[in-house]
Structure 1
Amino acid sequence: MKLNIYIFSFLFIFFCLPHQAEAQQISKAVQLNISDYLTKIGTREIALKHPIKIKSARVIGKKVIITADDNCAYIPFREKNVAEIYHGVKELLPTKYAGYNVTIITNKRTIESLIPIPFRTKKIAENKLFAPAPTTPLVTNISKAYQPTLGLRNRHLAIWQSHGRYFNQRKQCWEWQRGRLFETVEDLYTQSYVLPFLIPMLENAGANVLLPRERDVNTVEVIIDNDEGVDKNSTYTETSGTEKWKTGAEDGFAHKRDLYIEFENPFHEGTYRQVQTVSGGKESKAIWTPHIPKEGEYAVYVAYKTVPNSSKDALYSIYHKGGITQFKVNQQMGGGTWIYLGTFHFDQGKSDRTKIILSNISSTPGTVVTADAVKIGGGVGNIARRSKSKKTADYITSGYPRFCEGSRYWLQWAGAPDSIYSESQGDNDYSDDFKSRGHWVNYLAGGSSVLHKQDGLHIPINMAFALHSDAGLTDNDSIIGSLGIYQTSSWGGKYENGADRYLGHDLVDIIQTQVVNDIRKTYEPLWSRREMWNKTYHEARFPYVPTMLFELLSHQNFADMRYGLDPRFRFTVSRAIYKGMLQFLCWQYHQKYVVQPLPVDNFEIFMSGETEVELRWQPVNDPLEPTAKPEQYIVYKRLSNGAFDNGTLVGTNTYKISIPKNMICSFKVTAVNKGGESFPSEVLSVGKAANSKGTVLIVNGFDRISAPADFVDPNDPNHAGFLDHEDHGVPYLKDISYTGKMNDFDRTSEFISNDNTGFGNSESDYETKVIAGNTFDYPALHGSSILKAGYSFISCSNEAVSNKHVSLNNYKIVDLILGKQYRTKMGRGNVYPIEFATFDKGLQAAVTNYVAQGGNIFVSGAFVASDLWNNRNIQPSMTDMQFTQNVLKYKLEKSNAAHNGQVKAEKSGYNLFNGTFTYYNTLNNQSYIVEAPDAITPTDKNSKVVLRYSENNLGAGIAYQGTYKTVVWGIPFESIREIENRNILMHNILNFFSAN
């Protein structure tokens, strides 16, 4: 930057060359006043821990040069506060310096040069920026219905989520790198931002994201390879067309062993295959056909070899339950490691419907495509360790899912040289883990336009980002907040192309500003902005690309974690990080940016013909980002128990489609603009029975996601120390960050256990588990039982009913899904509005009007009464209580009523069920937990108990028959374990409603 060059030239002259006159020192008293003034400004701008001190204040000629310590550099400088600071400092100088020019320096820079260029109104001329020329990206999903143009397309980002489980050589055992607090541990906690939120946002913006840790939480792993290996059930085959396959000349991957020790590298133990590309004629194919041991979602990785004349558009086709998805892979980069393509739903077993195919058809004939291994799923750690000093000790693996382990172990499994993942040469896995991440970034970038002088994988990494949650401690319960770290002195203060490493400072400032501002505007005005450290943390100093280490909050602090455990907070923070990255990278390319939209809402499906349905939805405005406006939409379809297809792009917020009879069809919608694609809507479903007895409207009223219940405000003398509600909260889709005692889990469900693990040491009572959350996909489950009973069904969101887009009066039967809906605060409360009412005012009015017209409604949810009668987050309303008593004919008998997960039938006049059934009452990976549902009791002579909790005989469900009929349960229908019992119960409820 020309301005910087001028300043440094000026400073060099005055500091390093002899002068005709000695520099005059400004008095200590004036320096102290300036110090106090800067500290006041710093304290206003950030949570400044230490006062700003003046190191020197000199007068040279007609210039005053003030040098402050690095505490001053923690201030986020902007044009406004820089002008304020210079004005204030000049006011503090003796009058004899009134006409002098003043320069303030901190962290070896003038304060004005520390204003990130995107925040300047006057854009100064820049010296070399870091950004290399755009290239063909590593991976492109060519089956996507839409490609962003003003997002992160063609960008390559290195992202990682703090630590991971590691082998402690001194203790000869595996353990977490951080302590367990608030039902999590930093090694897993930061993953709850990076994996479900941040990476999808970046990928939806078009970026290629690379991680030094496993991203798939599935414990199943299938390896299919051209070399014979451990997996004997999966197969690799080839077909040769015009060009023939042959074995390559160098090493390739082979899976020869179950465990890997010391520095064994599976990418040096096998071979690979290669073939020349063609643009026409008969194609040649490599085909990987896996044997999938269990149906589910799996990440798909491919391995290949980068050779001279490698193809830039190797075509991979993945056959999965949702259809076929195709990718073009630039094999000129990324050879010799696992390259992630996407995550897909696969059926159990082995068939021609599940396979990965590589073709030699290319737009550049005469190049070479190579075929090596395919990896499906995340798996369990297979790197076995022992202390070098204990030669007779057994090698032991972690016994944990691979995604729980640190980078050091993934990088060995992914083929990195041992110099990358083990700087200590096996002596210290703890230090190797955090050091490996910086080495890995340079290994990825080596040989590319970013880092010509170092060997590597030729991937032009644009930036790196590390998310941590160890921002410090406090002796009170104030919020610790967000701390950013960068480093400027390594590599001579320059990147390879000559760009200034102070780009790292700009990256930190931009992202930290975005995160703190968004948190303050949405959830917590008192969120603390901490310092921007320029320190020699290995993760920040070693990468040869702009890098930020972000300590988001303190996982040790209750005030931080009452927010940090909430999925809504995690979404907002991740979106802020993504927006900061977008701003930084688009500035590098002088490119305008557009932020991807928020998910749509008010989603509904209705029958528009005999077998035609129409979908409608509404866009959602983003009050934090004016560019995040939808321009088009993508509709994804799923048939029966299949998986979603690649989507259909539509230009308006409606979509019509014909559906087959006697089959459940499910849909979700995303919004798109030039910046990328939003997260998906809830999933709605529809089913048309061939000889339909009628149509049921399913209202999906369960959209809650939340943190576990915390303690009521300690300032409230009536409730101090009591839990707000016995409630584990509701994860978004699933929680991958939970740690807890084994008996917290459902021991009948699947979990990882191994006698040869850290469980047998100091952590024998603990394990890690993926916890099911809100999938937003319950109309299909309800609809399956409805369709089996001979009825058709459609579905809509609760907002569509509350906002009068859908009228209940058009349907004789309504099934209202309430799940674990419960009015929930955010963080300390009193800032962000209470969300997730079971019955908001609009829904109450709609239901009241509906039953007055003789409608029949089935309601099921864990908090159908307590949310309205004794929710501690909100003052109970007489109107709410009268609604349940007078309209739906029940009232609260007892909250937190049952815990053993069993319900029995009550022999009443309505006799809706005989026998018993069970529901998910403990943490598991199949369904959200119903840990303490409501007991309810009738309020009308024609309202009767039809279900009771087996453990205490309290009422679990009531039915009412009068001028209209209601069935209300304290047990969510979708939480019932037995499919047959669900079908019987739904059949009997529908018969009850249909009977005269």
Structure 2
Amino acid sequence: MKRFLYYSILIFISSTIWNACVVVKEVIDEEEFNLKATDFKENFPTFRKYFGIPLSGKVDSVFYDDTEKKIIFRFNKQFASIPLREDNVAAIKDSVKNFFGDEYSLYDFEFYIEKYPIDELIPNYFRSNRTEIDKARLPLPREKKNPIIKNISKPFQITNGLNEKNVLLWHSHGWYYNNQEKRWMWQRARLFQTVEDIGPLSFTIPFLIPMLENAGATVFVPRERDTQVNEVIIDNDTNKQPAYLESVTNKKLKWKSYETGFALKNKILTEGENPFLKGTSKYIETDTTETATIKWSPDIPETGEYTVYISYQSFEDSNDETIYFVSHAGGKTEFRVNQKIGGGTWIHLGKFLFRKGKDKNQFVMLSNKANSSGKIVSGDAIRFGGGMGIIEREGQISKRAKFIEGSRYWLQYAGMPDTLVYNLNKSADDYKDDYQSRAEYGNYLYGKPYGPNRNRNEKGLGIPIDVSLAFHTDAGITRNDTVIGTLMIYSTPGLDSLDVFPDGVSRLANRDLADIVQTQIVEDLRTLYDSAWTRRQLMDAMYSEAARPNFPSMLLELLSHQNFLDMKFHLDPRFKFDASRAIYKGILKFLAYQYNYEYVVQPLPVTHFAAELVNNKVKLSWQPKPDPLESTALPEKYIVYTRIDDGGFDNGRLIDSTSILIENLEAGKIYSFKVTALNKGGESFPSEILSVGISKKNTQPVLIVNGFDRVSPPASIESPKFMGFFNIIDEGIPYLYDYGYTGVQFNFDPDSKWETDDNPGHGASASDYETKIIAGNTFDFSYIHGKALLNNGFSFCSVSDESVWDGKLSLTKYPFVDFIFGEEKKTLPPKSNSPLGIEFQTIPDLLKEKIKTYIQLGGKMFMSGSYIGSDLYTDPDSVGVKFANEVLRVKLKTGYASRIGEVYSVNEKFLSKNFLVKFNTEFNEKIYKVEAPDEIGPINGSEILLRYNENEFSAAVGFREGRGVVVFGFPFETILDETKRNEVMKAVLDYLEVK
């Protein structure tokens, strides 16, 4: 504030020094005032710069009213592109008043930005006194109704998160049909190994959508959200028993046909076809006991995770708590569906593991059981998986998975009315249809009076949308050492040019939402990644995706996909998590204020997870992780999820403490666990997955330590003439899976200019992987190692590496320890001045000491990973080199030792001569790719066990002398053949003489 006053004094002195004797004006002299106003406009650039107002911010007019004793300032709307708060608004007012001086002290100064008083543009959320808020932008009371989906099997309830809130979210553009070029193509250019059409979904699908759902929200997406390329549809019109099976036990009841429903009788959908008007559906009355069901049993083409979608019809007397069961590889999950709303489209239930084939325990079942009889339950088609595109455009289909395609095509498949939602340009311009359709989908979901803009009174589906987000990464380039940064767009006028929603609520709610979310993003990213992260404009503009929604909405341009520095952040999974969490927190804070409740932010994932076998019982323990950015994100309880063998995870059990003892483990089975933290605001992301197994032959467990936590972007090179991502050095590690990779960058010239999207200049990238899903760190490798141990007759348990180096667990209890290091290695944050520092060191100093002590006391150890040697050899003062040479008895010879991934035995004490093993060196969706394994050589009495086939480099080294260590220069879990993995693990155990 002192700076503001100082600035105001300077302006005052510079503008009034000619008049040492101030005369207070009771009546304004017009000529003098006009000179003063002109002087103010001339000095405005200095004023504008000081307050951070963009160049486009201008003074529209300055005039006075002698009768009312007012001086009125009007600025254009770009003046309000900065966040307005009580303090800077007060400073702006004081500065202007000081400029005009005491001679005008008898006049009130009023400030408007276009038609709004400047104070009105301060978001309600940032006002210090709730009694002085603008109630006109708060939502009107609405009829209380059950949420459209409730997962009854969840062992907890959310009360202070996004429970019972509906969020509409879309991730940019998508693969579309260009009506002029007569081809399917991207709407943006392939740059820096991705494209904006799929880059944002690498934020939303793995991070943002789960965060919103973990907070209790139901999320609607106008693009296909399931990346599963297989699809199974079961429908009463096209399927027979046993795939589709109706049953009735009450003779008074009967499943009846309704004339409207889903049917897909051809493999493609042509222009204007609505599959939800091509078939019939079934309905029956409810009963207080279950007397009727429909069962949909899929024939799954390939084991994997499949999203389950249901469809039904809505009637006035529909049951608002209709029971559905999804029976999957992890058990049975129960849902309650409000069938009064949402009828006639696909409704997302969740994602589940299903095994290949026809399994009697895999089905979806609808029940007519209800609290009262006489209501209606409806059943139509059930869909498993996302599938491939089937929409025909001028004789062509996309040949891509549905999740790759733009909104226009999924909305046709989802039964939306064409001329109201997705075909707004008479089939002549799919590009416009695509961006215009996304918001109209939300309007149709909501319905009268919030319906599609061509007919706001369209009944729609009755699903009240609370907020919407359009997620983009806009274009922009800078050669400075700064990011383009975050732009947020909102619109005060709607498509009807009115500044209120159809119910009369002020569309200034859009500005509140946009400001809160942009503020949260910028504050979090400046704290975690880049203290100079650029906050761009808070722009009021008639963009279609901002103006069309008939409910609070925003259009986010998180960063620039065209600027290399921005893309260093974009491709980093750590950044994706934190940016997504900031967006989620902003939405939460906005809605909590709108609906007047105390928000609680969901916790961060737990750490120090351990699963130890104790007398044939498993003790699980973990620690909560505090969030330095959010005081409310404290765990209160925890959920433990269990998986048996290769099944799916169950619905979880609620735990009050940070440990639990689980009994009755069956020998010969592998039990896997993950833990989430829970509070009133929602559920955290899961921990890593740890597994245990009890052998029928040997109940004394060996230990697996998971040291592979790394997620990272690809390597980058930066110089004045060569700049970009250099995958040959390091391709990075996705979090779980990468959905947004197109192919390697091939244009590294920063001076190369964009010519067309097909020839976009600097950053141009290949397209050979853009339809593929790429496996990254799934945090589930203790299962693979453990299965090999169990198959060799050894019981096992597993722990995280931090639980070892922090002393929570002693290695010396175990006769054998298997360290998983995968592609763990020292990784810098995307910005050099980030407070995060180096992460993911393979063997930190504390862990070195634990390992050294264990081996000195006679321990036997196996460790595998791509960078064990190369990471240790980067340690300062040769600490790592000494540890490698003297403790592990390995020396680094080179990195990047193999491209084809074949190794063979050269030591018959280990495996028979020329025994050949192949590990993964190709991108696929099953296991991560190994691109740069180490060549590690023997030292201090160790010996070579394996060599790389292509060049005879040494691939594995071991020693044994009552104690011993075997070190692989590649990750064990990436050996492709399970039988070979079992044999290699046996060789390790036999070589080290583990009993």
Fold equivalence (TM over 0.5): yes
The code of the aligned residue for 2:103 comes to: K
The code of the aligned residue for 1:930 comes to: V
Report which stretch shifted further, 236-245 or 986-995: 236-245
Report which stretch shifted further, 260-269 or 64-73: 64-73
Q: Which string of whole-angstrom CA distances, capped at 9 and with x for unpartnered residues, describes residues 859-883 of structure 1? A: 100011111224xxxx644111111
Instruction: Report if the CA contact (8 A) 1:742-1:765 is conserved.
Output: no
Report which stretch shifted further, 99-108 or 20-29: 20-29
For 1:241 and 1:20, how far apart are their aligned partners in 2?
89
For 2:777 and 2:345, how far apart are their aligned partners in 1?
34
* Residues 1:775 and 2:778 are matched in the alignment: yes
The code of the aligned residue for 1:616 comes to: S
* Residues 1:52 and 2:62 are matched in the alignment: no
Secondary structure in 2 matching 1:297: strand
Q: Which string of whole-angstrom CA distances, capped at 9 and with x for unpartnered residues, describes residues 336-386 of structure 1? A: 000000000011111220111000001232110011000100000000111
Secondary structure in 2 matching 1:86: helix
The code of the aligned residue for 2:843 comes to: F
* Residues 1:227 and 2:237 are matched in the alignment: yes
Instruction: Report if the CA contact (8 A) 1:421-1:436 is conserved.
Output: yes
Find 1:588's aligned residue among 594, 598, 616: 594
Find 1:654's aligned residue among 656, 659, 669: 659
Tell me by how many angstroms 1:635 deviates.
0.3
Find 2:254's aligned residue among 218, 231, 245: 245
Tell me which residue corresponds to 1:263: 272
**CA 1:335–1:79: 2 relative to 1, 3 Å:** same
Tell me by how many angstroms 1:651 deviates.
0.4
* Residues 1:486 and 2:487 are matched in the alignment: no
Report which stretch shifted further, 246-255 or 461-470: 246-255
For 2:483 and 2:812, how far apart are their aligned partners in 1?
49
* Residues 1:835 and 2:839 are matched in the alignment: yes
Matches within 5 A, 1:303-382: 303-382=311-390
Tell me which residue corresponds to 1:786: 789
Tell me which residue corresponds to 2:430: 429
Tell me which residue corresponds to 2:18: none
For 1:859 and 1:841, how far apart are their aligned partners in 2?
17
Secondary structure in 2 matching 1:344: strand
For 2:913 and 2:296, how far apart are their aligned partners in 1?
49
Tell me which residue corresponds to 2:218: 208
**CA 1:102–1:656: 2 relative to 1, 3 Å:** same
Secondary structure in 2 matching 1:660: coil
Find 2:619's aligned residue among 607, 614, 618: 614
Matches within 5 A, 1:525-674: 525-609=531-615, 611-658=616-663, 659-674=665-680
The code of the aligned residue for 1:961 comes to: R
For 2:45 and 2:745, how far apart are their aligned partners in 1?
55
The code of the aligned residue for 1:161 comes to: H
Tell me by how many angstroms 1:909 deviates.
4.8
Tell me by how many angstroms 1:767 deviates.
4.3
Secondary structure in 2 matching 1:893: strand
**CA 1:923–1:763: 2 relative to 1, 3 Å:** closer
**CA 1:839–1:969: 2 relative to 1, 3 Å:** same
Matches within 5 A, 1:383-422: 383-386=391-394, 395-419=395-419, 420-422=421-423
**CA 1:262–1:741: 2 relative to 1, 3 Å:** farther
Secondary structure in 1 matching 2:981: helix
For 2:950 and 2:509, how far apart are their aligned partners in 1?
63
For 1:508 and 1:930, how far apart are their aligned partners in 2?
42
Find 1:860's aligned residue among 860, 864, 867: 864
For 1:519 and 1:166, how far apart are their aligned partners in 2?
33
For 2:975 and 2:870, how far apart are their aligned partners in 1?
20
Moved over 6 A (4+): 19-23, 448-452, 719-722
Instruction: Report if the CA contact (8 A) 2:123-2:515 is conserved.
Output: yes
Tell me by how many angstroms 1:800 deviates.
0.2
Q: Which string of whole-angstrom CA distances, capped at 9 and with x for unpartnered residues, describes residues 153-172 of structure 1? A: 11111111110100011111
The code of the aligned residue for 2:642 comes to: K
Q: Which string of whole-angstrom CA distances, capped at 9 and with x for unpartnered residues, describes residues 486-533 of structure 1? A: 111124211122110010001000000000110000011111100011
Tell me by how many angstroms 1:793 deviates.
0.5
Tell me which residue corresponds to 2:100: 93
Instruction: Report if the CA contact (8 A) 1:912-1:985 is conserved.
Output: no
Instruction: Report if the CA contact (8 A) 2:451-2:457 is conserved.
Output: no
The code of the aligned residue for 1:946 comes to: L
Q: Which string of whole-angstrom CA distances, capped at 9 and with x for unpartnered residues, describes residues 148-200 of structure 1? A: 10011111111111101000111111001110011111111010111111111
For 2:127 and 2:728, how far apart are their aligned partners in 1?
48
Tell me by how many angstroms 1:36 deviates.
1.9
For 2:548 and 2:200, how far apart are their aligned partners in 1?
21
Find 1:810's aligned residue among 809, 813, 823: 813
Report which stretch shifted further, 980-989 or 123-132: 123-132
Secondary structure in 2 matching 1:814: strand
**CA 1:470–1:236: 2 relative to 1, 3 Å:** farther
Tell me which residue corresponds to 2:129: 122
TM-score between the two structures when normalised by the length of structure 2: 0.91
Give aligned-pair identity as a percent.
Answer: 42
Instruction: Report if the CA contact (8 A) 1:33-1:92 is conserved.
Output: no
Instruction: Report if the CA contact (8 A) 1:242-1:283 is conserved.
Output: no
For 2:608 and 2:450, how far apart are their aligned partners in 1?
47
Secondary structure in 2 matching 1:397: coil
* Residues 1:461 and 2:465 are matched in the alignment: yes
Tell me by how many angstroms 1:463 deviates.
1.0
For 1:33 and 1:283, how far apart are their aligned partners in 2?
80
For 2:168 and 2:798, how far apart are their aligned partners in 1?
41
Structure 2 residues without counterparts, runs of 5 or longer: 1-26, 747-764
* Residues 1:63 and 2:64 are matched in the alignment: no
Instruction: Report if the CA contact (8 A) 1:896-1:932 is conserved.
Output: yes
Tell me by how many angstroms 1:303 deviates.
0.6
Secondary structure in 1 matching 2:743: strand
Instruction: Report if the CA contact (8 A) 2:602-2:633 is conserved.
Output: yes
Report which stretch shifted further, 927-936 or 910-919: 910-919
The code of the aligned residue for 1:105 comes to: Y
Instruction: Report if the CA contact (8 A) 2:902-2:948 is conserved.
Output: yes
Q: Which string of whole-angstrom CA distances, capped at 9 and with x for unpartnered residues, describes residues 435-492 of structure 1? A: 1112111101004889983320110111111100115333545310010011111242
Q: Which string of whole-angstrom CA distances, capped at 9 and with x for unpartnered residues, describes residues 901-934 of structure 1? A: 1111113654477511111112111111101111
Secondary structure in 2 matching 1:251: strand
Report which stretch shifted further, 810-819 or 130-139: 130-139
For 1:132 and 1:268, how far apart are their aligned partners in 2?
34
Tell me which residue corresponds to 1:102: 109
Tell me by how many angstroms 1:739 deviates.
0.8
For 1:786 and 1:195, how far apart are their aligned partners in 2?
34
Tell me by how many angstroms 1:246 deviates.
3.3
The code of the aligned residue for 1:740 comes to: G
For 2:445 and 2:910, how far apart are their aligned partners in 1?
67
Tell me which residue corresponds to 2:478: 474
The code of the aligned residue for 2:61 comes to: S
* Residues 1:690 and 2:696 are matched in the alignment: yes
Secondary structure in 2 matching 1:991: helix
The code of the aligned residue for 2:811 comes to: L
Q: Which string of whole-angstrom CA distances, capped at 9 and with x for unpartnered residues, describes residues 631-678 of structure 1? A: 000000011111100000010001111111111100000000000000
The code of the aligned residue for 2:942 comes to: S
Report which stretch shifted further, 556-565 or 684-693: 684-693
For 2:964 and 2:584, how far apart are their aligned partners in 1?
49
The code of the aligned residue for 1:729 comes to: G
For 2:768 and 2:840, how far apart are their aligned partners in 1?
35
Secondary structure in 1 matching 2:409: helix
Instruction: Report if the CA contact (8 A) 1:884-1:890 is conserved.
Output: yes
TM-score between the two structures when normalised by the length of structure 1: 0.91
Q: Which string of whole-angstrom CA distances, capped at 9 and with x for unpartnered residues, describes residues 935-982 of structure 1? A: 111111x20111111111111110012352000011100010010110
The code of the aligned residue for 1:791 comes to: F
Report which stretch shifted further, 409-418 or 875-884: 875-884
Query: What RMSD, in angstroms, separates the aligned Cα atoms of the two structures?
Result: 2.3
